[in-house]
Amino acid sequence: MQLPKKGLITFKEKIFQMLKDFEKYDINWNDGRLFGYIFDPGKKYRNIAEKALLQYYHKSGLDFTVYPSLLSLEKEIVDFAIKHLNGDDSCCGNFTSGGTESILLSVKAARDYALSKNPKIKNPEILLPITAHAAFHKASQYFNIKIKPVAIDHKFKVDLKDLEKKISSNTILIVGSAPSYTYGVIDPIEEMAKIAQKHNILFHVDACMGGFILPFFKKLHIDISNFDFSVDGVTSISMDFHKYAYAPKGASVILYKNKELRKYQIFSCSDWIGYTMINTTIQSTKSGGPLAATFATLLAVGEDGYLKFAKEKWKAILKIQEFIEKHPDLKLVVKSNTPLIAFTSESVNIFHIVDEMNSMGWYIQPVFRYGNIKESIHLSINHSNVKRINQFLKDLSSAVEKAKKLPSGTLIEKIQPYIDQLDKTETIFKIFQLLNIQPGEIPKRFAPINEILNLLEPSLREKILLEFTNLTYR
Ligand SMILES: Cc1ncc(COP(=O)(O)O)c(C=O)c1O
């Protein structure tokens, strides 16, 4: 891009036309065809959120003394979140930009709290179930904390015996999910909390996906096990508003059992020539827009609106699962009582199913094999999907039929001679050439490449996708 010699302020249509042109290959996000990435409550709520977003967009959360409105809004939202998750008066928290930021903060706070209480800890460790979100791995890399993976049982829940066995004098945090992303399964939070308490270890519940919606499911008498501050031993919880609370993106909350814990999240620096920088979150300058938009969305939808959303989603969850259970070529990975569902196939290449659905305008997400857990397809069901379920299931059936006729493993042979050297950057670039992957371009069909990635161990996938990303961005 080059700056125009003369600004286009008098030709603003041109600017917006250019922005529109960029969107040419984007999937249409607001017509209910994406089973992931989008949480859309529909136009009438969206309009209100967008208005609030713009009203507060230019206010900066850098310094709460300059914008008391942002402090007040954040207190209101955190207060709501604490009550929603059965916290008491000693609970506290902060508004963040998303689940990943909430998780990074929870881990940073846990590390510094544990180190301050027990200076003997030299190599802090987190006990992380293999179903827990990748954001904890990001925290481990950023904050130099070791991850000890914890096994899961046949129902895809944390294996409690393995959890207790892995506790050591270096353990600073135990993590559970409510629910875990891929399979929508809620970990046995009460049992995990008992173990955490017995060993005096902090316990974080990642309720980024479920924190908001599960209390509404409980009100509908759906069987949801306790996962929040009502469970003794839970010391922090992450919950996103930009998922099932349907706020626009950039909205999550990190909550703690008390301010003694939260203290370790706050950054304070006066050791430079300038203003003392005090941040509750990772971002420093940040827009007040998402706070206002979240506040407006919560008020606009209200208790009755969220219950209605929960009811329609529950119907959709049952319908989709019933369809998959009856389908001769598809198989549920595990029964889910949350809006996150995963299914697989013993007879059809699921990566072709994904591509076929994509060519019909749908987005469903492929999940690679992990150890002996087979590859699958993940769906996150949101309000905008509900009106499309019948069409979705019809198209899914036809995608399966089309996928059956497509060849599998077309590219695997090409890379076979290099498979032992895939940890080398030069080999990865060679493979990109062989697979005709052009710098900066996104392939149209992913199945042949996904098949290759699916064969590899996670560390090799990481390396290849990292190189691909580095190549793709300018
Ligand atoms: C369980 C869980 N935790 C954390 C996250 C990360 O949230 P975000 O993408 O908002 O950073 C996700 C995202 O899907 C999630 O499902």
Q: Which CATH number goes with the domain that contains 246?
A: 3.40.640.10
- Residue 323 lies inside a defined structural domain of this protein: yes
Of the pLDDT bands very low, low, confident and very high (cuts 50, 70, 90), residue 410 is confident
Q: Is 283 in the same domain as 316? A: no
pTM of model > 0.85:
yes
Q: Is 243 in the same domain as 268? A: yes
> Averaged over 309-323, what is the pLDDT?
98
Alpha helices in 57-152 (DSSP H): 68-84, 99-117, 135-143
Of the pLDDT bands very low, low, confident and very high (cuts 50, 70, 90), residue 209 is very high
Highest mean pLDDT among 84-88, 422-426, 451-455: 84-88
Full residue range of the structural domain in which residue 357 is found: 302-404
* Centroid of ligand 1 to alpha carbon of 447 (angstroms): 25
Whether the pLDDT of residue 92 is over 90: the answer is: yes
- Residue 137 lies inside a defined structural domain of this protein: yes
Tell me the β-bridge partners of 175. Answer: 204
Residue 249 CA, closest ligand 1 atom number? 10
Total domains present in the chain:
3
- Residue 5 lies inside a defined structural domain of this protein: no
With a 6 Å cutoff on the Cβ, whether 98 touches ligand 1 is yes
With a 6 Å cutoff on the Cβ, whether 206 touches ligand 1 is yes
Q: Is 343 in the same domain as 423? A: no
Q: Is 182 in the same domain as 274? A: yes
Dump pLDDT digits (tens) for 349-381: 999 999 999 999 999 999 999 999 999 999 999
* Centroid of ligand 1 to alpha carbon of 242 (angstroms): 10
Whether the pLDDT of residue 393 is over 90: the answer is: yes
Q: Is 61 in the same domain as 97? A: yes
Residue 316 sits at the vertex; the CA angle it makes with 81 and 351, to the nearest 5 degrees, is 100
Q: Is 138 in the same domain as 277? A: yes
- Classified as helix, coil or strand, 371 is coil
With a 6 Å cutoff on the Cβ, whether 177 touches ligand 1 is yes
Q: Is 177 in the same domain as 324? A: no
* Centroid of ligand 1 to alpha carbon of 103 (angstroms): 9
Alpha helices in 204-363 (DSSP H): 214-219, 259-262, 289-326, 350-359
- Residue 244 lies inside a defined structural domain of this protein: yes
Dump pLDDT digits (tens) for 248-266: 999 999 999 999 999 999 9
Of the pLDDT bands very low, low, confident and very high (cuts 50, 70, 90), residue 55 is very high
Q: Is 420 in the same domain as 393? A: no
- Residue 42 lies inside a defined structural domain of this protein: no
Q: Is 418 in the same domain as 329? A: no
Can you spell out the DSSP letters for 387-420? TTHHHHHHHHHHHHHHHHTS-S-TTHHHHGGGGG
DSSP 82: H
Q: Is 265 in the same domain as 367? A: no
With a 6 Å cutoff on the Cβ, whether 135 touches ligand 1 is yes
* Centroid of ligand 1 to alpha carbon of 68 (angstroms): 29
Whether the pLDDT of residue 27 is over 90: the answer is: no
With a 6 Å cutoff on the Cβ, whether 187 touches ligand 1 is no
Cβ–Cβ < 8 Å for 255, 85: yes
Q: Is 214 in the same domain as 316? A: no
Q: Is 149 in the same domain as 277? A: yes
Structure tokens at 18: 């250019």
Tell which of 295, 315, 340 closes a domain: 295
- Residue 25 lies inside a defined structural domain of this protein: no
With a 6 Å cutoff on the Cβ, whether 350 touches ligand 1 is no
Residue 207 CA, closest ligand 1 atom number? 1
Task: Identify the helix (H) or strand (E) that includes residue 239.
Answer: strand 236-240
Tell which of 376, 404, 432 closes a domain: 404
Is the model more confident about 120 or about 54? 54
- Residue 23 lies inside a defined structural domain of this protein: no
Percent of the chain with pLDDT over 90: 90
With a 6 Å cutoff on the Cβ, whether 240 touches ligand 1 is yes
Q: What is the CATH number of the domain that holds 388?
A: 3.90.1150.10
Pocket test for ligand 1, best of 35, 209, 236, 240 (most atoms within 8 A of CB): 240
CA 250, CA 242: separation in Å to the nearest integer? 7
- Residue 56 lies inside a defined structural domain of this protein: yes
CA 341, CA 429: separation in Å to the nearest integer? 35
Dump pLDDT digits (tens) for 146-194: 999 999 999 999 999 999 999 999 999 999 999 999 999 999 999 999 9
Tell which of 345, 379, 404 closes a domain: 404
